[in-house]
Structure 1
Amino acid sequence: MASLMGNGHGAPGIVRDPSTVRGLEIPHVLPHEKVFPIQIGSKLFRLSGASLSSDAPSYFSEYFKCQLAQAETRRAQGEPDQGIKTLYIDRDPTIFSDISRHLQGYHIQPRDGSHFVKLFADAQFYQLPRLVSQLFEDNIYISIGGREFRVQKDLFTAPGDTPNFFTLGFAVMFSSTDAVFPGLDRVGLLRPPSIMPPAVPSRSGEVFAELIHMLKGYPLHIRNEAHRAELLRDCRYFLFKGLEQKLIPHSISHNLQRGKDEITIRLEDIRQPGLSITFDAPFQNSPSPEPLARHLRYSSPSMSGWVHYMRPFVDATPRELIIEISGECTRLDIDTMRAEFSGDAKKRVSRLVEVLATKINVPNARPMGLLMGSGKGSQPESPASGGLGEGSVKVVFEGSSSVVLDGRVWKEEEEEGGEGGMKMEEDGGVGADAPPRKRRRVEGGGAESEIWTVRTGQWRVRVQAASNDKSAVECVLIAVKIDAFTAELARNQERGFLSG
Structure 2
Amino acid sequence: MASVASSETAPLTVEPLSERNVSRIPLILPHERVFPIQIGSELFKLSGASLSSDAPSYFSQYFVCQLESVKERGDDSSASIRTLYIDRDPVIFRDISLHLQGYHVQPRDGEHFVRLFSDAQFYSLPKLISQLYEESIFISIGHREFQIPREIFRDPGNSPNYFSLGFAAFFSRPDDLFPGLEREGLIRPPSILPPSVPKRSADTFAELLHFLRGYPIHIRDETHRQELLSDARYFHFKGLEQRLIPHSLSYNQATKRDEIVLRLENIQKSGISVLIENSDPLAGFVQYARPYVDNKPAELILEIGGESTKIHLSGGTPRAEFFRDTKARVAKLFEVISTKFNTPHHGQSTTLNNTLLSEDFVRVVLESDSAIVLDGKEHTEDSTGSSTADSTANENPRKRRRADGGSEEEEWVVKTGQWRLRLRSVPAGNGVECTLVATKLDAMSSQLARNMSRGFLGS
User: In the TM superposition, what is the alpha-carbon distance from 1:175 to its structure 2 partner?
Assistant: 2.8
Cross-structure match for 2:12: none
Cross-structure match for 1:429: none
Matched, 1:475 2:444: no
User: In the TM superposition, what is the alpha-carbon distance from 1:220 to its structure 2 partner?
Assistant: 3.3
User: In the TM superposition, what is the alpha-carbon distance from 1:189 to its structure 2 partner?
Assistant: 1.5
Matched, 1:96 2:90: no
Cross-structure match for 2:363: 394
Q: What letter matches 2:446 in structure 1?
A: A
Contact 1:37/1:47, CA 8 A, preserved across alignment:
yes
Cross-structure match for 2:39: 40
Matched, 1:111 2:92: no
Matched, 1:361 2:361: no
Contact 2:136/2:147, CA 8 A, preserved across alignment:
yes
The share of aligned pairs that are identical, in percent, is 54
Q: Deviations over 1:373-409 (max 9, x none)?
A: xxxxx8xxxxxxxxxx524211110011011111111
Aligned 1:70-81 pairs, distance under 5 A: 70-75=69-74
Q: Determine which of 346, 351, 368 is the counterpart of 2:332.
A: 351
Q: Deviations over 1:309-331 (max 9, x none)?
A: 11111111111110001111111
User: In the TM superposition, what is the alpha-carbon distance from 1:80 to its structure 2 partner?
Assistant: 9.5
Cross-structure match for 1:309: 288
Structure 2 unaligned spans of 5+: 1-17
Contact 1:357/1:364, CA 8 A, preserved across alignment:
no
User: In the TM superposition, what is the alpha-carbon distance from 1:169 to its structure 2 partner?
Assistant: 1.7
Q: Deviations over 1:308-358 (max 9, x none)?
A: 111111111111110001111111111141111112211110111000111
User: In the TM superposition, what is the alpha-carbon distance from 1:79 to its structure 2 partner?
Assistant: 8.6
Matched residues in 1 for 2:125 and 2:106: separation? 16
Matched residues in 2 for 1:89 and 1:358: separation? 66
Report SS of the residue matched to 1:413: coil
Matched, 1:460 2:420: yes
Matched, 1:227 2:224: yes
Q: Determine which of 381, 384, 389 is the counterpart of 1:412.
A: 381
Matched residues in 1 for 2:167 and 2:147: separation? 14
Q: Deviations over 1:64-84 (max 9, x none)?
A: 111111111111xx6998511
User: In the TM superposition, what is the alpha-carbon distance from 1:473 to its structure 2 partner?
Assistant: 1.3
Aligned 1:56-455 pairs, distance under 5 A: 56-75=55-74, 83-170=80-167, 172-282=169-279, 301-335=280-314, 336-361=317-342, 367-370=352-355, 389-413=358-382, 435-436=401-402, 447-455=407-415
TM-score (norm. length: structure 1): 0.81
Matched residues in 2 for 1:72 and 1:322: separation? 84
Q: Deviations over 1:447-479 (max 9, x none)?
A: 53222110000000011111241x211110000
Contact 1:411/1:423, CA 8 A, preserved across alignment:
no
Matched residues in 1 for 2:172 and 2:350: separation? 44
Matched residues in 2 for 1:364 and 1:407: separation? 44
Structure 1 unaligned spans of 5+: 1-18, 283-300, 372-377, 379-388, 425-432, 441-446
Matched residues in 1 for 2:349 and 2:446: separation? 36
Matched residues in 2 for 1:79 and 1:158: separation? 58
Q: What letter matches 2:137 in structure 1?
A: I
Report SS of the residue matched to 2:170: helix
1:248–1:365 Cα change, 3 Å: farther
Cross-structure match for 2:10: none
Matched residues in 2 for 1:461 and 1:437: separation? 32
1:134–1:439 Cα change, 3 Å: farther
Contact 1:350/1:365, CA 8 A, preserved across alignment:
no
Report SS of the residue matched to 1:411: coil
How well do the aligned residues superpose, as a CA RMSD in angstroms? 2.7
User: In the TM superposition, what is the alpha-carbon distance from 1:124 to its structure 2 partner?
Assistant: 0.6
Cross-structure match for 1:296: none
Contact 2:367/2:397, CA 8 A, preserved across alignment:
no
Matched residues in 1 for 2:243 and 2:405: separation? 46
User: In the TM superposition, what is the alpha-carbon distance from 1:180 to its structure 2 partner?
Assistant: 1.2
Matched residues in 1 for 2:207 and 2:413: separation? 39
Matched residues in 1 for 2:281 and 2:46: separation? 80
Report SS of the residue matched to 1:189: coil
Matched residues in 2 for 1:151 and 1:230: separation? 21
Cross-structure match for 2:7: none
